[in-house]
Structure 1
Amino acid sequence: MLMMICLTELTKANGISNLTKSIRRSKVFRLLRVAVSPQYLNGPSADFFAEASNDETSMKSDADLRGNRGSSHHQHRRASGPGAEAGIASNFKRKFSVAYFNEHKELPPTHRHVNVDPAIKKLMDRNNPGSIRECYKIPNDAWDKLIFKQCFTFEYYPQISDLLDDKAITPDWDHVFFAEDALRVEGVRIPAMVQQTRLILEILSRPNINLLDDFYAEVEKSGRLPTLWAVIQLMAKERELKIDPRVFSFSTFECRMMASACERNISSNILRLFKHQSITQSRAKLRQKMDSLINLPETDYDLWVRFHMDLEQWNYMFRSQRQALLPQVFCDQFGVGEAFPVSNQDIH
């Protein structure tokens, strides 16, 4: 990853499969009401250092570093083998430290707490991580104990390109039944007020939009998405020359704006440090990169093997477990509470 934290993509593989079958049978929009899992009532992410140690004292000292917002986090239940959840977060910390140093000529600000691994402490003392190969010699468990201080300022406005794309949104739960075919199936009358289903039109219809006070404040207060906003609408499209249609998902206006703000902050502050990533590259740059890979010269001793891997199903199945600790790392780096974990939480 670095994943794009997008609420509309967070339905598990089994849910997608079952809902897709329902769409095929009914030939109408299937509207999914979702309720947030109880584990998110007081925060969806654990103090990841508490998982690495059974020592209650060390668990308390690490939590204290986060201040009041960290004390409300509950331990996230492991759904896979030991170390699986920490793998992506640990590797991110390793690569981010090197990438940050390459640009700023110093390590990112971190907490010097008692549980810092000696190998990591040595890097801190010299304020230089060395090469990425040197950092790979330090195990994941050591990087797992590294806690960042605030490195960036979270900007509470969305990605402008998302707004210009005029993407679709779904009404909230009180107004979710609006499509004629869905109304017939559910036996529901047309609501008195039909909400907007186009993102850009909804933005233009509101005199003032304050993501911090109107949206994030509500999430920070409860540590979860309000039930009114927790709606995902699935729509079957792109049927041409296909046996089965492709299913697209749409979230509510509030969730779409928060997800876009999270994406923008990650893209402009973190992803740009990783020169090899292609998420933020333009179509022209992507085409240039693909052309360079296709035209790699072959010799009598070297032969390039090219293959395509479709990891979509794997990603749906294991994303929530593998990325459980990463959103909290983002929160530490941006100095925010629940913005990234709630935007990345599973919806059941």
Structure 2
Amino acid sequence: MTVTELAGAALLDEVVRLTRDELRPSADAAEEAKEFPRELVRRLCELGLVRLGLPESRSGLVFCRAIETLASGWLAVAESVHLQVLAAVGPARFGGTHVRDDVLPTMLSGAVIGGNCFSEPNAGSDLSHLETTAVLDGDRYRLNGEKSWVGHANVGGVFNVYCRTAGGGLGGITCLLVDADSPGLSVHRPVRKMGVRALPTATITFTDVLVPRDRVIGRPNRGMLVASDVFVQGRIGLAACAVGLAQGALEYAVAYAKKRIQFGQPVIQFQGVSFLLADMATQIQAARQLLHYAVTRRDAGHDVSVEAAQAKLFSTDVAMRVTTDAVQVLGAYGYTQDSPAERWMREAKLLQIIEGTNQIQRAAIAARL
């Protein structure tokens, strides 16, 4: 093994240990209490997961395996690490000296939680219709507007805010890195989500927020170049979350089917159950291979816009099917909150919606055919 492979193996071993000993035992109670696992996320960032997730690290396969493992134990933690990577993608590749030297290290270590502000109440995720504006005022931008569905909103320290600085359409968009404690920045109460409740999502309002010019990520009016990198990474990271969530549901369903006795034998011996589990395992493996193919190509320097969209689309649909089938295998028990299966099914639905709905992924793939 190379030094990198040894480091990756050791990191994955630690992720497996943390998932087994800390994530799984904590998930149900924290989700019910809507408690963000701040310390766990910080420790995972300190392991180097955020740095591994950045495209330039060329370590995407190790990162995906780590996220899969985390998601098999607690999706909110995996999704939080994934969001931290997305917040760091722009500053790492396009940030100026101040951002790379002073801000980025705090994001990589987890000392500061980051987030991205894309969606708006009227525009949704259609960046061509952004209404949030930033006007240059001397050596600072004056930022006004409202962003919705911001992950990490209530715990974040910095946010990449995509706003209009000129023109219309996809041109004239600029990405600004804004401190959460900036005067005029207001975070609303967390959205009451159906699943992943431990990970806060909220609306953020900007009222005459002053942002220094050295906090521009990339070039003024060229924010879509930054967003494009974030979108590809977002699809890859979310696909890894979906594969891990589905794997956790499969393992739980198999363990239950082996010990649940009906008509004098374990239910896994009934063809109706065993074939269902076989299909679940096959779908997960197909999703995993599609994801790993995409990330391996990206690590080799290829454009994987289509492959990332395919991985996100297929993996999240698989997660929805597998978690639904896991509830079916568990029967009435699976429909109760005494089993984690019903929570997994609620969480899987979210993955089909965020980072671009699966209908948007299909449209993106079709456009490239």
TM class, shorter-chain normalised?
under 0.3
TM-score normalised according to structure 1 size: 0.24
Larger radius of gyration: 1
- Larger helix proportion, structure 1 or 2? 2
TM-score normalised according to structure 2 size: 0.23
Higher relative contact order (CA 8 A, sep 6+): 1
